[in-house]
Amino acid sequence: MSTKPGQLQTFVRAGLEVFIPMSKIDQDAAGTTIAILCGSHLDT
């Protein structure tokens, strides 16, 4: 995954939160925040 300038990335204890400014199904272009959780293995 690649982020573009203007996309907010926040590192939290559980992983990473990324703000996606718009998507194909986001008719209002309001954006959404998604969470990417840490893996269960040490390498992830």
Nearest Cα neighbor of 34 from 7, 4, 6, 5 is: 7
- pTM of structure: 0.54
Higher pLDDT, residue 27 or 9: 27
Encode pLDDT of 6-19 as tens digits: 566 777 778 888 88
Average pLDDT, the chain: 76
Number of domains in the chain: 1
For residue 40 the two structure tokens come to 């269960």
Residue span of the structural domain in which 23 resides: 1-44
* φ, ψ (nearest 5 deg) of residue 20: -105, 115
Say if residues 20 and 4 touch (Cβ distance below 8 Å): no
